[in-house]
Amino acid sequence: MIYTKKTPWTLVLGIIMVAYAYMVQAGIMEPVIKYLHTSKLVGEMVMLGYVCGGVAVLAGLLQAFTTPKQGNFDYYLSAVGGLAFILVVAFIVKWVLDPQMGAWGKAAAGALGFNFAKVMNLNYVVMGIVAGIITVNVFKIPEWAENGVRMSRLGLKTGVILLGVLYSWEELRNLAGLSIVLIGFFVLGSVGLTLWMGARRNIPNSMSGVLSAGLGVCGVSAAVAAAPVVQAKSTEIAYTIGTILLWGVMCMFLFPIVGKALGMNYTQFGAWAGTGILNSAQVAGAALAFQPTGIETLKVAEIFNITRILFLPIIVLWLAVWYVKREQTGDRVNLGQVIFAKFPLFVLGFILMFVLGSTGIFAPAQHYKGKYFDNSEKAMVKTDKDGKVHDKRLKDADAEKLKSEMDKIQREDQKAALARLIAEKKVMAPDHDTVLRGIVNSKILSKEATDILKKQHEAVYHTAKKIKMFRTLIVWFFAFGLTGLGMQITMASIKQAGGQPLVIGSVVGAVKAVGSLIVVMLFVTEIV
């Protein structure tokens, strides 16, 4: 089959992206950039415009002047137009709509009493998904872009793989035990509840089996993996996907609003989203919607999400045994083959990038939360290009402020750490910083003193240039993937959730969301 369509639009979109990058670089767009306050994004505008636009121009020329031949090259060439289409929409959303909506929210705050953009989470993540939904349901996806839109999930998977670079052994050690306990309880509980409800409502075992995997583990991919084991029909898979999609879309918008209303920190919300949302893609969407200007929440959410995926072989084995017992006439299935064929490869990619990152290839191996510790004179005292000296060491006035509040601290290790900071004028080691962060998290000092400690923490932790690059790439892979995801959410697919599956999915989804929220709020705190 030949996939490539003769269309000028791939070339046109490529020229538009390259032209925009040139206008930004040449300063032609400076008035618009100043108006939108997006000067810090100029670098990525130029880089992405030239690189992505250049690829689209080349693909457009190949589509125009060559005869397509059946094969892998034809398949991937046909996707470039759709990928460029998604990118242009994502560019408009992130570089224009997002800052403009933020400005409107601030402007209206005086009259409304609140910033509607923040309250409703109208950031580039949410607006990208909405733009995708409007595009597919109102304007429809052009035929030449369909293949590229279908491939957009690769953006999300690539983003998850790259996330592995940003983790350290310490972070994973802090999060691993918590995620295993929390995910294990809710994954196994959700699967068990779905199977129990399925038996009570007399739906086919194959329907219960595939629905339980989708609701309990990681959404669509888990449903697809479990389908051969329980011999699910195509209609049953469709019902499951429709149910998951409906709940995932609802959660993706509601979770960030609830999280902010409850004052959840990044760790709490990441744990909740990674546990309570049914589908992996929506987990990323909710995490970025909660924290669109950073990826700390996304990192926590993805650890929980990946932990959930790692439960997939256990669930597939459970369902196989359960199904054989209930369906004596069922054909035998090679479990190993199913698990090997359906296990998400991007998880292995994440692990590989984490291992590589731990060797120090991308940043010093001891980095934590994407940053590394350095309190050397070179790092603490710098001279800018104008000759002005910037000294990050503790100021005498700040030292006196900390001394005046020393009596508020009861723990001897914290007193000693604070005294050491005052004496040395800087944080001396990661362990020293950990104790000081404990003082910050305990909220026993005044806001002024707490801010001084936070500033000293920031002074000794630095982000490597390669890590900064990875952060930018990760954000864009997710922005691209989520916009493309929106373009696949049709009203028809949502209506696909049948009566009984929807009832069961609603009950299990609500129990999982509310139950995990209660557990997280009671037992999860900010991890130092």
- Pick the closest to residue 287 from 484, 244, 300 (CA basis): 300
d(CA 10, CA 66): 14
Q: Are residues 421 and 483 in the same domain?
A: no
For residue 452, the SS3 value is helix
Q: Which of 22-36, 192-206, 362-376, 418-432 has the lowest mean pLDDT?
A: 362-376
Top pLDDT among 133 and 324 is at 133
Average pLDDT over residues 196-220: 87
Average pLDDT over residues 350-365: 82
136 part of a folded domain: no
Q: Are residues 437 and 324 in the same domain?
A: no
pLDDT of res. 528: 42
- Pick the closest to residue 143 from 6, 15, 16 (CA basis): 6
d(CA 197, CA 508): 9
Q: Which of 284-288, 367-371, 500-504 has the lowest mean pLDDT?
A: 367-371
Among the candidates 442, 463, 484, a domain finishes at 463
pLDDT of res. 463: 83
For the segment 87-139, what is each residue's pLDDT rounded down to a tens digit? 999 999 999 999 999 889 888 877 777 677 776 667 787 788 888 888 988 98
401 part of a folded domain: yes
Count: domains in the chain: 3
Top pLDDT among 269 and 222 is at 269
528 part of a folded domain: no
Are the C-beta atoms of 81 and 9 separated by less than 8 Å?
yes
Q: What is the DSSP letter of 372?
A: E
For the segment 126-185, what is each residue's pLDDT rounded down to a tens digit? 788 888 888 988 988 999 999 999 888 788 788 878 878 877 777 667 667 778 888 889
Q: Are residues 475 and 453 in the same domain?
A: no
The amino acid occupying position 378 is K
- pLDDT category at 498 given cuts 50, 70, 90 is low
65 part of a folded domain: yes
pLDDT of res. 329: 53
* Maximum average pLDDT range among 305-309, 319-323, 468-472, 510-514: 510-514
Q: What is the DSSP letter of 425?
A: S
Instruction: Concatenate the DSSP letters of all residues of 43-96 into one string.
Output: HHHHHHHHHHHHHHHHHHHHHHHS---SSHHHHHHHHHHHHHHHHHHHHHIIII
Q: Are residues 19 and 100 in the same domain?
A: yes
Average pLDDT over residues 228-257: 81
Cα distances (Å, whole numbers) of residue 251 to 276, 291, 439, 509: 9, 15, 35, 9
- Pick the closest to residue 225 from 151, 311, 351, 154 (CA basis): 311
For the segment 420-479, what is each residue's pLDDT rounded down to a tens digit? 999 999 999 988 988 998 898 888 899 999 999 999 998 998 888 888 888 888 889 888
Are the C-beta atoms of 524 and 178 separated by less than 8 Å?
yes
pLDDT of res. 479: 85
60 part of a folded domain: yes
Are the C-beta atoms of 78 and 56 separated by less than 8 Å?
no
Q: Residue 170, Cα to own-chain centre: how many angstroms?
A: 20
Q: Are residues 186 and 44 in the same domain?
A: no
Q: Are residues 15 and 89 in the same domain?
A: yes
**Structural element, H or E, at residue 391:** strand 389-391
Q: Which domain holds residue 117?
A: 9-127
* DSSP-assigned beta bridge partners for residue 390: 382
pLDDT of res. 514: 95
Q: Residue 6, Cα to own-chain centre: how many angstroms?
A: 35
**Dihedral in degrees, nearest 10, Cα atoms 54, 56, 59, 64:** -110
User: Is the predicted pLDDT of residue 402 greater than 90, yes or no?
Assistant: yes
User: Is the predicted pLDDT of residue 194 greater than 90, yes or no?
Assistant: yes
Q: Are residues 478 and 459 in the same domain?
A: no
Among the candidates 411, 434, 463, a domain finishes at 463
Among the candidates 110, 127, 144, a domain finishes at 127
Share the mean pLDDT of the chain: 85
Q: Are residues 281 and 229 in the same domain?
A: yes
CB contact set of 229 (below 8 Å; sequence gap of 6+): 209, 316, 319, 320, 323, 333, 335, 338
Average pLDDT over residues 216-228: 78
Average pLDDT over residues 196-203: 89
Are the C-beta atoms of 255 and 301 separated by less than 8 Å?
no
Residue with tokens 């790439």: 473
21 part of a folded domain: yes
Q: Are residues 230 and 336 in the same domain?
A: yes
pLDDT of res. 89: 94
pLDDT of res. 493: 66
Q: Residue 448, Cα to own-chain centre: how many angstroms?
A: 33
Q: Are residues 121 and 195 in the same domain?
A: no
133 part of a folded domain: no
Q: Are residues 114 and 236 in the same domain?
A: no
81 part of a folded domain: yes
Q: Are residues 178 and 325 in the same domain?
A: yes
